[in-house]
Chain A
Amino acid sequence: MSTPGPLAASSDDRAAGGPAVPEQPPARVRRPRPRALAAGAAVLAALAVGHVVVTAFPVDDRVQAPFLRTTTVGEPVDLRYARLTVGRPTGSTVLDGDDGTLLATPGVWLTVPLTIEALGQPRALGFAELHGGDGRTYTVFTSGRSSFLPGTTQPGVPRYATLRVEVPPQAVPGARLRVGLDLDDQRRDDVADVELGLTQADAEAWAAETTPVVAHAPSDAPPEDS
Chain B
Amino acid sequence: MPGPAAPPELRARARAGGSKVARRVLDQPLQRIGVLGALVLLAATAAFGGLEEQTQDGPEALVVGTPVALAPFELTVHRVVWTTDLPGQHLSDDANRWVGVVATVRNTSDAGLLGVTLRDALTLDGVDGLVAEPSDLGVRATSVVVLDDGSSLSPVQPGLTYEAAFLFEQDGSAAPPTTAAVQLQQHVWRGGTMDATPAWRFPTTVLRGALDVREAVSDAPEEDA
Contacts and interface: CB of A to CB of B under 8 A. Distances in A.
Interface of A: 26, 29, 101-107, 129, 134-141, 143-146, 165-168, 170-171
Contact of A166 (B13, B115, B160): B160
Nearest to A31: B13
Nearest to A94: B149
Contact of A138 (B10, B149, B153, B157): B157
B149 A103 contact: yes
B146 A104 contact: yes
A167 B160 CA distance: 7
Nearest to A145: B151
Contacts of A136: 110-111, 158-159
A29 B160 contact: no
A45 to B, nearest CB: 23
Contacts of A101: 149, 151
A88 B111 CA distance: 24
Given A26-B9, A101-B149, A168 B159 contact: yes
Interface in B105-136: 110-115
B146 A166 contact: no
A104 to B, nearest CB: 4
B31 interface: no
B162 interface: yes
B154 A137 contact: no
Interface in B1-22: 9-10, 13
B53 to A, nearest CB: 31
A106 B149 contact: no
Contact of A146 (B9, B110, B157): B157
Contact of B158 (A129, A138, A165): A138
Nearest to B154: A144
B153 A29 contact: no
B160 A145 contact: no
A138 B154 CA distance: 11
A143 B151 CA distance: 11
Given A107-B160, A171-B159, A102 B154 contact: no
Given A136-B158, A146-B157, A103 B151 contact: yes
Contacts of B152: 144-145
A24 B149 CA distance: 91
Interface string B139-164: 00000001011011111011111100
A182 to B, nearest CB: 15
17 contacts: A29-B9, A29-B10, A104-B148, A105-B160, A106-B160, A129-B112, A134-B159, A138-B111, A138-B112, A139-B114, A141-B154, A141-B155, A145-B154, A145-B155, A146-B112, A146-B157, A167-B159
A26 B111 CA distance: 69
B159 A107 contact: yes
A122 to B, nearest CB: 27
Contact of A104 (B112, B149, B154, B158): B149
A170 B10 CA distance: 73
Nearest to A104: B148
Contacts of B112: 129, 137-140, 146
Nearest to B150: A101
Interface in B38-87: none
Give the interface centre of A29, A136, A144, A145 by most chain B CB atoms within 10 Å: A145
